[in-house]
Amino acid sequence: MNAQMRDYQLAGLNWLISLYHNNINGILADEMGLGKTIQSISMIGYLLFVRKMKGPFLVIVPLSTLPNWLKEFARFLPSAKVYRGHVVGPKKMEIFAQLQNPTRTWNVVITSYEFITRYSTHFKKANFQYAVIDEGHRAKNENTQFAGVLRQIRIQSMLMLTGTPVHNNLHELWALLNLLMPKFFNDSANFDAWFKVEDCLDPLHEQTIRLKNLLKPLLLRRTKKDVTGDIPPKVHIDIYMPPTEEICRWTHKVLHHEVEVLDGRGEMQKMRIINRFPHLRKVIQHPFLIPGADNTEWVTDDIVRHSSKMIVLDKLLVRLRARGSKVLIFSQYVTVLNILMDYLDWRKYTYCKLDGSTVIDMRQKQMDEFNRPGSDKFIFMLSTRAGGLGINLPAADSVIFYDMDFNPQMDFQAEDRAHRIGQTRKVHVFRLLVKGSIDDLLYSYSERKRLLDKSVINTENYPSKELLLEAFEYQRTSLMANGLIDEGAVDEKLDELFRTIGELRKYSSLEGDTGVLNDCQILLPGVSCDLQLDTVLTAAQLAQKRKAEDTIIPLTSKRVRRTVNGELY
């Protein structure tokens, strides 16, 4: 191995060796950022050069992380003969031939989930001595095509890598265990009857202890706090804010089916909204996500003023830039990222952007540029799911979640793009939440998932229809209960927060932690308002309410706004 491994990584390697010698498959479930990749590569190195095995060895990874795996093998185990087992076009015939060639010139093949699933027939012809399954939770459903393919391929020993072994329920844990040890974990009904989520929420419950003991020889889980003191701490700051009048107005329009769109004849027609829930969520992120809320090609200060989150984000970024921080901004919505691009251009902030459509080569190029010492890139915007895997951005010390994912594990994976080995400063994670909104209620619901994560391992329940209906009613009845956002109060609260956070500096375990020491919530007070959703102001009335000193600041030159499906955003 061409690497200096940390003590806990060597302990992980020894655990993997022990599993292999005892003919047991397992799950390496270390927290994101602790080096699961180098531990698994070192295991293949052990098999190659200590056990003198010639392979073949199989590594299955998400397509977006495949170049990084190739790069890490070249860096840490350059003597291994690694073959890229994924390609598009006629060259895939070469891969098929290599898989069947008895005199192959490689001993490790790295492929993607999609490629091995689609062309499983060719992989079934090989006899793999060891397999590494990165992001193993993709096999959490025993009925998926990939899980079926994995059962059919001849693999002598298997290792799964995942920081989140379970995403929906404990049955998914059984599905992973069934893949690893099918003869032992062969009855899902029996497993489900023994281990219920309600019981396992309590870490001291008899069944929780029993499940932990069952997993102990099969699953290794370490957190940054457990194994290393040189990674700076991470603190979460949830900022709750009241809505703007525009948010209330467009909530009213969605609720009463008053949103109008231009039809093919050039006439305004009522927008057909079958399910109002996703549209109410969009209003909370930014009213511009609703057709008709923004009908100009000019970028003005309305892009900030109409959204509570943008008001707070605008003020946060001013303070973070003055502090010398570099920032990651995550959103579930690519359309929100488009709005943010307009905003960042307007404010003349330098940035990078990554979503599911970003090609792999551009991903790496942007990461390298953002992490480069002396880089002028202030912000890296990412879609939560596309940016949660294979992305290393330790140059950032601040993370902002513009909105939330229903699965809290996705957000945890995303924030650890910055909080990982290589980080030298304390990481602050800001989450923006509008009081009285759908996301406000769903975020409080996710606390249950976090309790289960602490009790057993990581898990998640997608919100039920009943909860979604409750959230819908919550926004309809509670959105204006806290008044409207007060920009003066925002400045006051943020100034107080940043005085506590202190200056940007390198973290030293000898000096200890300073600034904000624990996860906390900030509640921004609102201006009382007598408006109800049935009597919200019109756009003309809102314009008249602007103070005389307020000035619309357009972009210096007119340009085409970023569009989605032919509509503005």
Task: Encode pLDDT of 511-564 as tens digits.
Answer: 666 777 788 888 888 887 666 655 555 556 555 555 433 444 555 544 455 644
In a domain? residue 257: no
- Evaluate the CA torsion angle 152, 27, 84, 352 in order and state its sign: positive
Tell whether 122 and 239 lie within a shared domain: no
Closest by CA to 123, choosing from 134, 113, 135, 136, is 113
In a domain? residue 13: yes
Tell whether 214 and 239 lie within a shared domain: no
Amino acid at 116: I
- Residue span of the structural domain in which 368 resides: 234-243+301-537
Tell whether 99 and 51 lie within a shared domain: yes
For the entire predicted model, the pTM comes to 0.73
* Domain endpoint, select from 197, 226, 255: 226
Tell whether 305 and 397 lie within a shared domain: yes
Dihedral (Cα; 537, 560, 345, 251), 10-degree rounding: 20
CB 189 within 8 A of CB 54: no
Mean pLDDT over the full length of the chain: 81
Dihedral (Cα; 293, 295, 297, 299), 10-degree rounding: -30
Under the banding of pLDDT at 50, 70 and 90, the label for residue 344 is: very high
Tell whether 196 and 310 lie within a shared domain: no
Tell whether 338 and 206 lie within a shared domain: no
In a domain? residue 558: no
* Domain endpoint, select from 226, 257, 272: 226
Closest by CA to 46, choosing from 22, 94, 14, is 14
Question: Residue 542: what pLDDT?
Answer: 55
Tell whether 367 and 502 lie within a shared domain: yes
Tell whether 239 and 186 lie within a shared domain: no
CA distance 502 to 426: 11
Alpha-carbon 552 to chain mean position: 35
Q: Output the domain CATH number for residue 198.
A: 3.40.50.10810
Q: What angle do CA 21, 24, 25 make, to 5 degrees?
A: 120
CA distance 19 to 13: 10
Tell whether 311 and 460 lie within a shared domain: yes
Taking only the tens place, the pLDDT of each residue in 506-518 is 776 666 667 777 8
Structure tokens at 44: 């293949």
- Evaluate the CA torsion angle 396, 400, 403, 408 in order and state its sign: positive
Q: Output the domain CATH number for residue 384.
A: 3.40.50.300
In a domain? residue 376: yes
The H or E element containing residue 484 is strand 484-485
The total of structural domains in the chain comes to 2
Question: Residue 507: what pLDDT?
Answer: 75
The H or E element containing residue 67 is helix 66-76
In a domain? residue 438: yes
Question: Residue 14: what pLDDT?
Answer: 93
Q: List the single range of 1-10, 260-269, 325-334, 395-404 with lowest mean pLDDT.
A: 260-269
In a domain? residue 161: yes
Paired sense of beta strands 427-434 and 154-155, if any:
unpaired
Tell whether 238 and 160 lie within a shared domain: no
CA distance 501 to 86: 46
Structure tokens at 137: 């939770």
In a domain? residue 294: no
In a domain? residue 120: yes
Tell whether 356 and 455 lie within a shared domain: yes
Tell whether 76 and 169 lie within a shared domain: yes
Amino acid at 299: V
- E-state strands within 312-426: 327-331, 351-354, 379-383, 398-401
